[in-house]
Structure formats: C-alpha cells, structure tokens
Structure 1
Amino acid sequence: MSTDKSAKGIINAIGGPDNIRSLTHCATRLRFELNDADLVKAEDLEQIPEVLGTMPQSGDRYQVIVGGAVESMYSAIKSLPDMKTHASNSQSDDDVKAAARSKARGKNAWLDTFFEYLSDSFRPILGVLLGASLIIAFAAVLDAFEVVNFRAADKAPGWVFIDSMWHSVFYFLPIMVAFNAAKKLKVDPWLGATIMAAFLTPDFLKLSNSELYTTLQCVENEAIKKATCSTEVFGLPLTLPDYSGNVFVPLMMIPVLALVYHNLKKIIPSNVQMVFVPFISMIVIIPLTAFLIGPLGIWIGNGLGFGLAWMNATAPFVFAIAIPLIYPFLVPLGLHWPLNAMMLVNIQTLGYDFIQGPMGAWNFACFGTTAGVLYLAIRDKDNVMRQTASGALAAGLFGGISEPSLYGIHLRFKLAYSRLLAGCLAGGLTIAVLSLPYGGVKTDAFVFTSLLTISVFDPAWVYLIAIAVAFTTSMLAVIALDYRPLEERPSYIRKNTVTLPENTVGVPIEGKVISLDEAGDKVFASRALGEGFAVVPEVGPTGKANVVAPITGTISSVTKSGHAFGIKSADGTEVLVHVGIDTVNLKGDGFDVKVAKGDQITAGSPLVGVDFEKVAAAGYATTVIVTVTNTRSFAAVTPVLADHAAVLTPGVTTQR
C-alpha cells in the first residue's frame, strides 16, 4: 500500500477531515485532537499496514502509532486535497475550546492535557537532541582513546568549535522549549522564544559582572559548586541564575504568558494587536520572569534534582532498580517527560545526571525483547513481524528510540511485557550491585541511550555490562517463553492440528455441524456463496474461542469488522469463513483478528478470537459458516454433518 493511500485510509478511519481539530506528530505517533472520538473506526486503522497500533485518550484525543515513518505519513496526510480544503474551514480558537470542554471525557482529562503540554514542548526538538547526543558520543569516544581531552580548558580552536556544535542545543534549549510551549498554548511562538532569549543575551549576563556593578552579591552554593549572584534593578533585588539549559523556567513562564496574551487579544482592538499585544506581553512577562518565575523555576528544578540526588545517595540500590522498572509504564502514557526534564536540570545544576544510567537498562531490555521477537519471526517465517521487529530494533540500538518497539510489539502482545520487565529488573539489579562503590552510573551529557552513546557513561564498563544483561535477559525470555498466547504459537498449532485428508475442508471450531439450510441465513441457504456447512460452536466457560483456518493457503480477504475471511489454497480451493449471522453490525466489537490479507496460513491457524457471549448478548446468532465459494469448479462438494465435531475434522469433501 502506498503512503498516499495509507494516509487517505487513516483520515477516513479517523472520521474524515471534518472530525479533525488538530494534527501533530511525535517521533512515532500521529496525535489527533478530534471533534468526536466515537467516529473513529479502530478496526479500519489497524488494517492499514503502516499502522502499528492505536491509543485513544481522554478529551477526544487519539493517537495512531506509525513508527519511524511518522514524518512522511504526516506530510502525506497534510498534502491530501481534502485536508487542504479542510484547513481553510477550520474552527476558531473559541469554538475549539468550547467543543473540547463539552466533549472532554474521563476524570483526568486535565492530567492528559498537562502531560501533552510537556510532550509537545519537547517533541519537535527530539531530532536535534538526538543529533547533539551523537556528537557528544563521538567526542566521548575520542576522549576515551585520549585523542583529545574534551574537558581541558585549553583545547585547540577546532575542538572548541566541535563543542559548540552540540553545546548550542543545550545552551539555547530554554528558547526552543519556550517556542514549542507557546505554540502549544496558541501564543505567538516567537514571542515566547523572545522572552526566554532575554535571559541569555550578553546584556543580561553582563549583570553578573562584579567589575561593572558594585551592587553585585554572590554566594557560593556548595550543593551545585556554583555561585548564585544577585544585584539591584530599579531598587529591587534581582537573582541572576544561569538560565542556559534550564527547562523548568520556560515551562512555567509560558502558561502565565498565555493568560496575559489571550486576555490582551480580547481587550485590544484587532487593528493594533500586532503592535501592542507583543509589546505589553514583553514588558509584563520579562520582569515577572526575572523577579519571580525564573528564580522560582530554578528553585523548584534544583529542589527536585537534589531530592532525587538524595534518594540516589541514600538508597542507590533501590533507585537503580526502580528507575528501569517504572519507565515501561511511564513511556506509553507520556509520563516520562518530567524525568527527562530532570535529567537536563541535573546536568545544569550538578554537572552530571544519575537517572540516564538506570534508564538505559529499561531501554535495552526493551530492545532485547524486540530482538527475541525478531528471532522467533525469522524462525517461524513470519514476514510481517520480521519487518516490524527489524525496523524497531534498528531504531532502538542506533537511535535509542523505544516507541517503535513499545507500540509496534510490546503493547500489542501483553506477554512481551513480562519478558521486558524481567530484563529491566536484571539490568537495574546489575547497575545497583556493580555501581555501588561509585555512587551510581553517571553522565555529564543528555543523550539517547543507544549503542553509540555507551562511552558517555561513567563507569562505562558497569553501564555496558548492565545493558548487556538487560538486553540478553529479555531476549532469552522471549525466545524461551514466546511472546504470543499459547494458542497462537506455531508449535502449539502444529501439535494440535489434525492432518486433513486430501480434498477436505475442516471444521474451524468445535461444535455441532449442520447443513446450510439450518444455518439461519437465506443467502447461505440458497448456495449463492457455494456449498458448505455451518457449526453451532461449543465454547468453554469464558465464552471465548478461536475460529481457525479450515484449510492451508493464503488469506485473500478480511472484512473490516473481522467477522469474515476468504482463503485460497494452493490447489485452487476457495473458502469463505463467516462468523455469526449479521455480525457485521457489531463493527468488530468482540472480534480479535489474528491475520491480515496476504498472510500465508496453515490449517488450524487462528483467524479470529471471538467473544461468543458478547455476540449472543447483542442478539446475533453465533453460528460459524464455511462455504466453498468456487463450488462450480468441482464435480461434487459434499457436507459431512455431525452432532459433535472436533476442530479440523472434515466439514466437506470435494471431488474434481
């Protein structure tokens, strides 16, 4: 399927252009804000090859997981003619906010909004953060091999220039965060960036020059090994912290700016807003940030950093194990951003960070799980999963990005999570034991934990052993225990598969085999769809069971609602498996589709997991119908009726 076709399919399944209030993307996900999330057809989305999964959220927010190709998919969606037309008819800010308030669902919609604010403040700069982290890794490797001492004050100009290539990202990070945060809150992003930039200008930094200003007073802060200075401005005391690299201040300042900005737009005439809204915002927010928000943000950031540092120093063993164990639950919900921000604060205040080391154990446990899945996919000749896992593994090992693995595999197969947690525990325990004499694994740079950034951690040998243990533990756990439910594993299917006699179509589910005349559907009874049989299923106490393939062949069709499947065998037999009567009306509710069009399957392979109790409770017959749709190609197609038939016992025999 082409990207353009997939993009159109995503928009149609999401409810069409008119259902979209806004669309953004992160490293792996398309993020929709919708007018009505009930219009989303999740089953249609999951039929699109590029879609790895979906994640509904409160407040009519909806995420579609695409993986590493998200940017090209986003561009393809924005280029669709329908989207261009829709853009010109978008709602006003007031309309959007009113709709959001009226449609917000769930008790914690405000919490989703808060974490989405954090996420969207960082999301657009992930690329430059990754680029900077790789430059740092390159520098660390040269430093490790004593090619150059990057910590020396008298480095050659060329190496100083290389420093500037990565240091620019972290020095001006507050401006970048302010820009993105302002954009998220519908404020002119350049206004947010300008206000934050005021505190990184040579003029503001000059206020800390004791030779120029005699009112300057500095106090050495032993905790961060830096002096905190203050001076007088218009007779008021002004604290002069180092704002470079700080992310708490812009995150706190922008909501206050948004409050001022939007109120000014309400009271200032539109023909002069361009001049006076930025002007008044700047003369209000810059002093407010300098005298109040900035020092408060620095204090909060330092306090949280010192608190975590105290925990790491007081209970390093517990800390090293806890971090990798909580990250697998934080990342899917977007709750990891506060910890990521703390890493930056630690580097700015303490000169090093102690969270990224244990966090690396979680990342490599994640990648190890994916490696195990890839091994099984190659062994079982599962081409779809092989492609998914190989792409996710490459993104993880070389980019340090966990989302393709997490959303493409681990959240789809819940058993993979227990294998992942085993690796997290083993990696965290390794760091806890080996780094105890060193006070933990530390780094003086913010990096993405990948193979390329191992050298920035100290002690590197402890970190290397820990991530290797995490990776190997998860990989071996998946290989030994699998990541799929028992009934979906090839070994189970082979063990429990009855070899069908030649020219036979098997029964897809245990139960009573009846003729099409008794199935309760006039179309099937007319044999318009071919001769065949029906099964009144017998299921266990859970009311759930798999409907399996009655022949070996290729999946030729899968309905969007997951209730009907077409299969064509190598000898030309064409079979339709139809679960229930009129169950198309359930729109996939109660159906867990296991296959996709084009899949090669063997007799006995699960086609769909069905909650038969839910189907019956909705008022629909649960009868499973199987027909040979190309009956006319045979001399005879003869049903084999039985009061009780096991799975894959003959349902019809064919004769050419």
Structure 2
Amino acid sequence: MAKIDFAAMAPQLLEKVGGEANVRALSHCATRLRLVLVDESKAATDQISAMDGVVTVVQAGGQYQVVIGNDVPMLYEELGKITSLGHGDGAQEQGGEKGSLFDRFIKIVSALINPVVWTLAGAGLIKAFLTLATTLGWSQESTTYTILNAAGDSALYFLPILLAITSARHFKANEITAVALAGALVYPDIVALNDAGGAVSFFGIPVVMTSYASSLVPIIVAVWVQSHLQRWLTAVLPSAIRNFMVPLLVLLIMVPLTLITVGPVTTALSNGIASGMNVLFEVAPWLAGAIMGAFWQVFVMFGVHWGLVPVMLAQYKDPGYSLMAGPIFPAVLAQAAATLAVMIRTRNAKMRQLAGPASLSGFLAGITEPAIYGVNLPLKRPFIYGCIGGAVGGVIVAAASGATTSFVFPSLIGIPALLGQGNLLLVLLGMMVAVIISFTLTLLLGFKEEADAAGTTGPAESTESAEPTLALTSPVPGRATPLEKVGDPVFSSGALGGGVGILPTGGAVVAPAAGTVVTAMDSGHAYGIKTDDGVEILIHIGLDTVNLKGEGFSPAVTAGQRVDRGQPLVEVDLEAVRAAGYDPTTILVVTNTASLAAVVPIVEGEVTTSTTVVEIDH
C-alpha cells in the first residue's frame, strides 16, 4: 500500500463526515477512528469507504467507526491539529496507570529510556576503551582522540535531546518542538551562562543557571508540561494560524519557564546536599560515606550531582584532595556488579545482551546510565541492591579517608586517582565489599522478571529466525475459533488481515511472538507488536472493550518496549468485562497480511499460550 498523507486526508475526512460541527466526540482504538456524529445521515459513507487509507466503515453502537489499521493514531493526531476534537478523551489520557507513585515513575522512566539505552551502552563502551587507552599513555590532545571522544560522549551529553523524542511520543507532544526545547537547555550560549557564574535574568526575573547536560528528569517534566500546553493551544487557536503559532508559543513559554523553575529547584537541592555532605564529612564521615555510596546514582538521576562537582573541584585546589569523591567509587561499582549479576541470572536473552556491555562500561569507565536505566532501575531490586552495596562500601571508604586527588570517572581505571590519600587497602576493600554485596544479593535474591512467568528465553527467538515460517502462539488460553465467526464485521471480514479468535478462559494476555510493542492503548484493550522480520501483529482483547476505558485491564507493557514470546502484555478481569456486557473474545490478527506470502490459521479448539494458532510464510 502506498504511504498515506494523513495531513491531507484529515480535512477531507472531516468534510465528508459533515464537518466539525457534526462531530460530537472523537477518539480512536488500535485500528479505528471512533466518531459520535450529531447526524449520521450527513456522513458520505460511500465516499469515505473509497478513500485511500480507509479499510472500511462500520456504524454500530452509536458510533461511526472509520477503520484505518495500525496508523490510526497518525490520522487522529492530524485531526487534532485542525479541530478541537478528541482532547481529554479518557481513552487517550495517561492517568490510568495503576500502582504507587514510585512504580509509575519507574515505568515512565523505563519506557522513555528504553529506546535509547542500546545507544548509551555502545557509547559507554567507546568511553571505556578510550579511558583505558589514555591510562596506558595515549594523549588526549590528539585530534583522533577528540573525534572518538565525541562519538562516545555525545549520546550521554545530549541525553535530554534523546529523551525529548521519547517523552514527546509518550506524552503525545510534538516531537520536533520537544527537541527544540531540549536543545535550548544544552545550547552553547546557555551552557556558557552557567559556566560563567554571573547573574542571569529574563525580563527582570532572576534565572538560576544549572547544567542540564546528561540530565534525565528536567526534560521529562518539561515535555509533560509541553504536552498539556500544546493540547490547550491547539484547542483554542484558530486553524488559520494554529500550525505555526502552537510551536511558537510553546517554545516562548516553555524554554524560559523550564530555566526559571527547574534551575532554582535543582540548584537549591544541589547546594543543600553539598552543604550537608561537607558538614557530615567533618562530624560523621562514615554516615557521609553511606549516603554518598547509597544515593550518588539517585543524585545523578535528578541532576543534582552537578552541585557537588564544583565542591569537589574546589577541594582539589585546597586541601588538594576530595573526600566527597571517594565513596562514589563503591556506588558506581556496586551498580555495575548488580548488572553483571542480572546478566548471569536472567533468562531473558535481550536483557542478557544489554546487561553484559552495560556492566562493562560501568566497571571500566564509570558510565552507569545503560546499566541503571536499561537494567537495574526497570527491574527495581538490582538497583536497590546496588544502593545497599554502595552504602556499605561507602562507609568503609569514608572511614579509611579515601579521597581522589584529581577529577576522574569513578571506575576501575580511575583507581590511580585514589593513591596518596587515606588507607588504600581499606579503600580497595570498601570497593570490593560493595561489589560483592550487590552482586550476591542480586544473584541470590533475584528480581521479578516478566518473561520468567512464561518461561521464555532467547532460544525461542533463535528458533523463529532459523525457520522460514513464523509461528504465532495463542495470546490467551481458551477455545480458538475461525476469524470469520468472530462477532465483529471488521475482524470477521478479514479487512484487517488474517488471524484467529480465542474465547479466553484466563485473563493473562501474553505476546504471541517476540518483537517491539508499537501500539499499547491506554485503555489496555489492544496491543500492536512488530516482529524483527517485519510481521505486524494486533492483539485485541474483547469486542468494543475500548468503551470500558481501562476498567478491568492492568497493562504490563508500554509502547516502544521489547517483548519476548509469552511475556505478559496485560491482565484482564474477564468477569468485569462480561458483567459490563462485552464479549471477551480475543482477536489475533496479522495486519500486514497483504504483504506476506501466507497467513494460515492452523488450529481450532482448546489452546494454551504455548499452542501455535497461526503460521506465517514470508
């Protein structure tokens, strides 16, 4: 199928349904644009059905449903740009996530960092080997070093820009505007203002400068605010000026607002922590070491560590060493050790492939972002075990008066900076204890890994890639039925592709194959997965269950996340679905059937989540 220009399609569709005045409500599910029309007789159904990009039109349940397929969010977004429709629809809001505030924060951070974590891991290894090379005598003054260092450092330095892209996708904000917002935070002149240390103001309002390079939380918060501001502006501005005025106003408001608000908060926290740590190192070094060892990575996560760095740099001049920097070594090495234990213990091939290089970059170069954001933090327990190990090691290092005489990344290669201060043997013992504790706790106590419940591992994926036919297993246990018997004309007609229906006997819905989650509806009722070899799969739980707006659905994955075959996607309360009057039949459809050689349902009757229900010939 030719690529559809949804920007051009949106106004045509709007006109054919009778204009914005004839649309009472607009939303979308995994494949359909759902409209509630004031007068359905005004809609030119035959003309809409004939439009390029429209699969079919269904009028049912008081809704006018335009079936688009996997690209329906793109059409919905374009309609949002030219109308005030759809915004605030319950199915589109992010607020339906369950769990504690901390759990929700971890899920959001994991979802946002996951698309860039492999790049961070690769860049971290470049930094690790460069650090090793300079330790062995390679000059940092060469232009070759400068070029390679840029390759290894750019992803981490410009992390806010990378996160602006993923945050915009998650919060449904404009990606380009989000990148421009993040770019302003690390713009050379803004960096220079922070480095200069002079007074900064914006129309007389004081601006407290701080460094946003490598920061995580500030840009996430900024893009979240941007998404709400953007939706409000889109709703209130006239269509004639909306396309250029929305990004103009977003940037005019958000860039200074972020600098004015985030900077003071970050700086105040940084200064407070730095002052407190200085006092603690004087009166209770062991306690200061425990705090630095346990929470250094947390400081980095929120960007408040930049307030400690100037203090350390000043200490290198007087008295010539920094006690504050010593306990950072066990903090970093403990997280790397926890990641190494994950690599050994995990049954998830993808996690193992990431944990190995992430651990190496942590040990060698002190670059822990891939380890923390890609492995330890999403799994939660390894991160906590790393903090425990770092705390104990920090106590020992601080008690031994361990300190660095120069600014280095805390790593194995950076150990020479610890020479000449304190009891080196005790300092090395502290680092060793931190590594042993975090490694042992992670290896023995383990962690909750979603793929474990299904018993899926890397070999299952290698079997898929070795065979010419891709087998899709049932996403739910139950009774399989031919797609044409499903009580929904869009699915039963095969308009969305070939597949199978399953009447579930259990509420745990799992991935039928390994791949990347490209669609995860906020209502939890539908998920799109794209396999590595390009097969596009839709798992739709129940018929018209989008109307439940998430009630009875507990999602386990988010868009952009990598999943293995059998990995839980969502837990469904089937009784609640039935009690609400909805058919819980779960549909498995291959939405790009037309581009494949064959999509063949091969089973009818009782199935489990290990039963192959569809075979695909590429």
Q: TM-score range by the shorter chain?
A: 0.3 to 0.5
Which structure's CA Rg is the greater one? 1
TM-score (norm 1): 0.45
